[in-house]
Amino acid sequence: MGVTSSAIQAEQARALLTALAEPIRLRVMEALGGGERCVCDLTADLGLAQSKISFHLKVLKQAGLLADRQEGRWIYYRLRPEGLEDLRGWLAALSADCRKSASSCK
């Protein structure tokens, strides 16, 4: 894997981790862990205003963690397994590389 691919992968990981760093967004992710949900359901379940939920959904979607679809006037959101797998893969590579011993100092 070349330096450019690693840099892009690290940049994507940073975007995903930044999106997940906000406690409200983690709550949204957990709420969507059981499957697709309408924004109206999320606002009721999380006890937050629609504008606040919509902002956090937008951030998660831009990071590649969510997908959405519109049905009539409602928008439904779901987790994107590919986004989660990307992050898992990056963490697995990081974990594998961290076990390497340092070369001896001279």
What is 3-90's CATH number, 1.10.3720.10, 1.10.10.10, 3.40.50.720, 1.10.520.20? 1.10.10.10
pTM for the complete prediction?
A: 0.82
d(CA 29, CA 21): 11
Name every residue whose Cβ is closer than 8 Å to that of residue 93 and which is 6 or more positions away in sequence: 9
Q: With contact defined as beta carbons under 8 Å apart, do 65 and 19 qualify?
A: yes
Neighbours of 95 (CB within 10 A): 9
pLDDT, mean over the chain: 89
- More confident call, 98 vs 43: 43
How is the chain split into domains, by residue range? 3-90
Residue pLDDT, tens place only, 14-30: 999 999 999 999 999 99
pLDDT more than 90, % of the chain: 67
Q: How many CB atoms lie within 10 A of CB 66?
A: 22
Please state, in angstroms and as integers, the Cα–Cα distance from residue 37 to each residue in 51, 69, 77, following that order: 16, 10, 5
